[in-house]
Amino acid sequence: MKLKCAIIDDEPLAVSLLKTYVEKTPFLELTGTYTSAVTAMGELTNDSLPDLLFLDIQMPEVNGLEFTRIVGNRCRVIFTTAFEQYAVDSYRVNALDYLLKPFSYADFLQACEKARQWFEKDTQLTHTPDAAPESIFVKSEYKLIQINLSKILYIEGLKDYVKIYIEDEARPILSLMSLKSLEEQLPQQKFVRVHRSFIVQMDKIKIIERNRIVFGKTYIPISDSYKDQLVEQLNRRSIFGKNSSFVGKE
């Protein structure tokens, strides 16, 4: 991971040292240096904000703490200052670290490593999809019923109603809703539409006889309109290669 960073400090020597440290650090990329927070505010827009700021605290006009409150959570901050009395304030504005001048490259690198780990964790959380729900609630006969998704065999659509057939249940659950609205709530990796009137759970399919799925004495038709979706799911699970021949017309 490469972190884009900028330096804001009114001391030229401090800027020069930080720039040297940044250039020595493989996972940092310097996007700019600024001698005041006011100058930085004029040049840094939402599109050009770096991931990380190395920010002095005591500066004229707008100090580092005030600048951090203006920027908010749009980028993260490591404070670099000669005054230790601001340490508590720095954590109140959610800074990643606080480097007290003069600091060594080892201290700088340790703070940067903390920043890198924070961004890696944040990226993982951002790109991890939400876990699929294990159950849904449906309204039936003026009651809300929780249904465990793993127990559903198949669902039948009947105009404005759906019938949800549950494993080991003698009678289906009848609910006033469209089959399409229910389909949108179901995890696509587990449930597949095989007909305009039927959705089946892939894990519950035991037998397919060409153009129909067999659930005991019940036969679910597979229409040409939805055949490709079923074939795609079957191909992902099959050890025999493509299975389109199992779901063709008789």
Q: pTM of the full predicted structure?
A: 0.51
Burial profile 187-206: b = 16 or more Cβ within 10 angstroms, e = fewer:
eeebbbbbbebbbbbeebbe
Confidence of residue 250 (pLDDT cuts 50, 70, 90): very low
CA angle (146 as vertex; 141, 150 as ends), nearest 5: 125
Residue 41 has pLDDT above 90, yes or no: no
Confidence of residue 132 (pLDDT cuts 50, 70, 90): low
Confidence of residue 249 (pLDDT cuts 50, 70, 90): very low
pLDDT score, position 156: 95
**Burial of 108 per CB tally in 10 Å (0-12, 13-18, 19+):** buried
| β pairing state of 198-201 and 152-158 | antiparallel
| β pairing state of 173-176 and 191-195 | unpaired
The string of pLDDT tens digits covering residues 69-126 is 888 777 889 999 887 776 666 556 668 888 999 999 999 999 999 999 988 887 766 5
pLDDT score, position 242: 53
Q: Which residues contact 244 (CB under 8 A, 6 or more apart)?
A: 227, 231
* CA torsion angle 49 53 59 65 (round to 10): 90
